[in-house]
A = this chain, B = another copy of it.
């Protein structure tokens, strides 16, 4: 790295446990100053990254994007490889400056959701544009802008301190938006190289109130498609209505057996593995400052999803959902067309909590469809298990302090994020704790048109990343003398 200033205040190697905040502060001041001086080029470099489409659903721009970000990471000073998988490649990088300190794996994904419906974007999805203090681009929040902030945090620490306060692994995958189908086998295969003590992921939004969060879990997701077929061809609804079965009615009735109007999922055994939150989780959930009225106003809805009696914190963290992502069949044009369609398709996702497993739930859905609508084809589309890290993990406190120092305010403790990340590969396969430190604004509109990230949250993210690494570096590697 040209231009990096050697550090005169390395982190003391002999520090046994968490440094008091007063000791970490001077180290960070230098890094923060560096970050402040580089605002403009940081934005430019983020924009270069955002301009590359990398749509895992159909592969557009994926390989070029992996090469681009691998080049960026190598330039920062990490040993960087692009490793193939059966799908899109993984970018894996490491820097191990301090053997006696913990190794943190920074996970992210360089792929993005498809940008449609394109007409709803105010500026084009792959031409990053700043309006009213926000960067608009597909992937800016989910997830390029967030892991890019963490990469710049590493760069800023190296530039200002000369070495990193702890060891880092960076793992960026290219299939998160299609359910990370190859991440588990990748982690199994490369288990030896993934010798991290903990994982941090910056993805998803901060709390709806705008407060920063420290997240201990994610919901899992199980994806499937239901495909109903009627006659060989579309038919005239007058000539054949009442004679030929209608695949749209079949889907409507099948879906109606899976979730009732009261919001209860009526698939046998669906709630079997949904456990009550632990006392620590219950307490944390109750402290989350969700404001129903403000959320409803922001969404533009007059009521919350059924049932009425569940707090928003619980709806997102400890309760599963069954969402129809899309349902399509028959005439879609203007006016009327009295057609009896020959095919209809529903795409659905289930958000899983606690001890639910993707495979178990998909098997239960398959069984339900077989019993209630044997003429409908059930197509499982993968997904990922949920993940949980205990709220009393020893890494929780340094991360919390890292966030507090960078942002001037204690983060909220969030037992689980509503969205899904493949954290289970770390907590369940590698057996290490996984934490979420999201940087995005709650109205980031990820997966939707006009996805955006507040410019200041991007810079907050860089500072926060640096601060967390500094605080983790102030503790000893676990299980070492």
Contacts and interface: CB of A to CB of B under 8 A. Distances in A.
Contacts of A221: 238, 338
A57 interface: yes
Given A114-B333, A319-B242, A333-B114, A234 B448 contact: yes
A424 B336 CA distance: 20
A309 B347 CA distance: 33
A157 interface: no
A295 interface: yes
A237 B417 CA distance: 12
Contact of A57 (B240, B326, B337, B449): B337
A190 interface: no
A398 interface: no
B242 A301 contact: no
Interface residues of A, number: 94
Interface in A315-360: 315-316, 319-321, 323-341, 344, 347, 349, 351
Interface string A223-241: 1000000111111111111
B324 A327 contact: no
A330 B252 CA distance: 15
A447 interface: yes
Contact of A351 (B117, B238, B334): B238
A244 interface: yes
Among the interface residues A219, A339, A347, which one has the most CB atoms of the partner chain B within 10 A? A339
Contact of A116 (B251, B333, B448): B333
Contacts of A334: 57-58
Contacts of A295: 243
A167 interface: no
Given A238-B221, A239-B205, A305 B337 contact: no
Contact of A338 (B120, B337, B349): B349
Contact of A231 (B234, B301, B351): B301
B299 A325 contact: no
A279 interface: no
Interface in A249-296: 249, 251-253, 255-256, 259-261, 295
A242 B316 contact: yes
Contacts of A232: 299-300
A150 interface: no
A178 to B, nearest CB: 6
A124 interface: no
A283 to B, nearest CB: 21
B328 A245 contact: no
B235 A448 contact: yes
Nearest to A445: B233
Contacts of A8: none
A304 interface: yes
Contacts of A235: 299, 447-448
B347 A323 contact: no
A347 B336 contact: yes
A310 B243 CA distance: 10
A394 B450 CA distance: 69
A331 B347 contact: yes
13 contacts: A58-B335, A114-B337, A178-B335, A243-B304, A244-B301, A249-B323, A252-B324, A256-B256, A327-B327, A327-B330, A328-B328, A335-B381, A337-B347
**8 nearest CB pairs, A to B:** A238-B419, A326-B330, A326-B331, A232-B300, A241-B321, A242-B315, A248-B324, A256-B256
